[in-house]
Amino acid sequence: MKTLAKIFFALLLGATLVQATAFSKDAKFRTTTVHITADKPLTTGANTVIVTIKKNGKPLTDAQVALKAFMPAMPGMPAMSSKTNATNLGNGQYKATLNLAMSGTWQLHIFITPKKGKRSRVKTTLNF
Ligand SMILES: [Cu+2]
């Protein structure tokens, strides 16, 4: 009975983790909207994020997406920046791993290059 309870709890926890969104942020540029989520809270080091992109309310499925996180120089700290290409997961979702070297406020630029049409850049900030 105890084992069964443990298994049940593990399944429940697993299901919860899959659905959990510890981080969420929205940004917009003209008709392009971006919804950024992460299963875990942002932290120093590698962070996997899912970026959902819509154009005129419809998922943008065929874009090349790159993310650039940067922090300007501060007293006693050089400027920091990391750029990464996102993987297309389909349905307008793109997955990327951001490397954030320290806590604080990061500027995030999302570069979106659709197969057809104009390129766009959506700007936001990440804070942790
Ligand atoms: Cu800094």
pLDDT tens by residue, 19-50: 568 999 999 999 999 999 999 999 999 999 99
pLDDT value of residue 71: 96
Q: Which residues pair with 109 in a beta bridge?
A: 68, 123
The answer to whether position 10 is within a domain reads no
Domain count, the chain: 1
* Residue 87 contacts residue 64 (beta carbons within 8 Å): no
pLDDT given at position 39: 93
CA of 56 to the centre of ligand 1 (A): 35
Residue 21 confidence (pLDDT): 82
In a domain, 56, yes or no: yes
- Stated as kind and residue range, the H or E segment containing 25 is strand 23-29
38: helix, strand or coil: strand
Query: Model confidence at 16, in pLDDT bands (50, 70, 90)?
Result: low
CA 66 / ligand 1 centre spacing (Å): 22
So what's the pLDDT on residue 3?
76
Q: Would residue 15 count as lying in a domain?
A: no
**79 CA distance to ligand 1 centroid (A)?**
7
